[in-house]
Amino acid sequence: MARGRVTRLTACDVRFPTSLGAHGSDAMHTDPDYSTAYVTLETDAEDGLKGYGITFTLGKGTEVVVCAVNALAPHVLNKDLGDIVGDFRGFYRQLTSDSQLRWIGPEKGVVHLATAAILNAVWDLWAKQEGKPLWKLLVDMDPRTLSSCIDFRYISDVLTEEEACEILQKNQAGKKEREAQMLTQGYPAYTTSCAWLGYSDDRLKQLCTEALKGGWTRFKVKVGADMQDDVRRCGLIRDMIGPEKTLMMDANQRWDVPEAVEWMARLAEFKPLWIEEPTSPDDILGHAAISRALAPLGIGVATGEQCHNRVIFKQLLQARALQFLQIDSCRLGSVNENLSVLLMAKKFGIPVCPHAGGVGLCELVQHLIIFDFISVSASLENRMCEYVDHLHEHFKYPVLIQKACYLPPKDAGYSTEMKEESVKKYQYPDGDVWRKLLAAQGK
């Protein structure tokens, strides 16, 4: 049973100066400083447990998300955790449908990122109180309770609560075996760490060599800024990994629809499994057109990390606009909204291959995809979870990768908690790291 009244909610602006090393650079985000609006929830329960929630940002603007968290805080403060999770759908609706605040969303952009950070903290706290890692809390929940966490508003034409329960009920069979499989083998991952756009060819080769030694078999390369550059880099990486291993490409929204089709026709010789984010994340019909054009070339379309809510995912599925669906643990409204997307993907038979990387996205999303395998999809076919080898050292319960697979977390909670000294050191603009950097820049 969830317990305690929420007595305190704080939000912190924590930034890592990743732009200094071109880590995370792509065709649209040339100099990201991986950052997070980091939420801490405290209650008056005697257990003294705290809930931690993150949402991912790229540096500037983190303070705007922190401001939005504070605007939402009155909906959380002084609430009983039992009441929150006891009517989780109602609480989700309250956060996302505040009669005044919804105007500056609704359920998109800054306010939705803030909602994610708060709800991630609630789930972390709940799982800690239950003494389970989040994935296990979800796996052990009965279908009716799981469904009651989901707001079906605007998706009931595609997925009703009854259908959600049926899908979950059907998968009760075999759950134990799949859980055991996860615990021994883990969930398959792919790496994006080798081929950021800002890396030199030499660095790319070196990282690729290391990754191959480490047992990685699936690689993603950033493309979209310069065609000649792409041809050279894609050729280089395909040569290094050989014809059998899997290569994915990611354009990070660089193209218009006709351009995406032309560009990928040129890169098709390198046999990519998918092209990720070929155009605007808002362009459902554009993704559908690209999917149709690239299908004869054997290239699928993947998107999701910037799809702002379940209504967009619903339509991407309705329009057959993607062949790989990429959920994100921090852009959607936390576990609640991601549950609805996992269930819709199952209904449409589309594999979910989560977006991760950034700060903590690997830590969080592993819980969702492990739950998905055990309770929803029951399949590993065409499925894998992104992995990026950055910033895990700042987390109290970092991911564990073994033979290119995510091993299920065993600690209670949602793996969202950061090390206290990291939060202090990287806080913006007052942490040690930033005081020095800003002073060096004369700011």
Q: Which residues bind a second copy (CB under 8 A)?
A: 28-33, 56-61, 63-65, 67-68, 71, 97-113, 153-157, 253, 256-258, 279-286, 289, 306, 308-309, 311-312, 314-315, 318-319
What percentage of the chain's residues is helix, strand, coil (to nearest 5)? 45, 15, 35
CB of 279 to a second copy, least distance (A): 6
- What's the CA gap between 89 and 107, in Å, rounded? 14
141: three-class secondary structure by DSSP:
coil
Peptide bond into 106 cis (omega under 30): yes
Please say which residue, 155 or 302, places its beta carbon nearer to a second copy: 155
Locate all alpha helices (DSSP H) within 7-108, ordered by sequence.
Answer: 62-72, 81-86, 88-96
CB 387 within 8 A of CB 364: no
- What's the CA gap between 351 and 372, in Å, rounded? 10
CB 320 within 8 A of CB 293: no
* Catalytic-residue membership of 436: no
CB of 299 to a second copy, least distance (A): 19
Please say which residue, 52 or 313, places its beta carbon nearer to a second copy: 313
Closest CA to 126 of 53, 75, 37, 36: 53
Please say which residue, 210 or 262, places its beta carbon nearer to a second copy: 262
* Catalytic-residue membership of 443: no
Burial class (CB in 10 A: 0-12, 13-18, 19+), 351: buried
Please say which residue, 14 or 138, places its beta carbon nearer to a second copy: 14
Burial class (CB in 10 A: 0-12, 13-18, 19+), 439: exposed
Please say which residue, 115 or 415, places its beta carbon nearer to a second copy: 115
Q: List all residues 6 or more positions away from 294 whose beta carbon is below 8 Å from its beta carbon.
A: 261, 264, 275, 300, 301
Please say which residue, 328 or 363, places its beta carbon nearer to a second copy: 328
Tokens at residue 349, please? 């038979």
Active-site option among 23, 112, 132, 222: 222
Concatenate the DSSP letters of all residues of 278-329 into one string. -S-TT-HHHHHHHHHHHGGGT-EEEE-TT--SHHHHHHHHHTT--SEE---T
Active-site option among 75, 112, 132, 355: 355
Residue corresponding to tokens 């939705």: 112
Q: What number of CA atoms fall less than 13 Å from residue 170's CA on the CB side? A: 12
* Phi, psi (deg, nearest 5) at residue 408: -55, 130
CB of 27 to a second copy, least distance (A): 10
Closest CA to 129 of 416, 404, 412, 427: 412
User: Cα angle at 269 between 263 and 271, to 5 degrees?
Assistant: 100
Q: What is the DSSP letter of 413?
A: B
Please say which residue, 110 or 125, places its beta carbon nearer to a second copy: 110
CB of 309 to a second copy, least distance (A): 7
CB of 116 to a second copy, least distance (A): 12
CB 111 within 8 A of CB 105: yes
Please say which residue, 10 or 156, places its beta carbon nearer to a second copy: 156
CB of 306 to a second copy, least distance (A): 7
CB of 115 to a second copy, least distance (A): 11
CB of 292 to a second copy, least distance (A): 13
Closest CA to 109 of 367, 282, 358: 282
Catalytic (active-site) positions: 222, 355
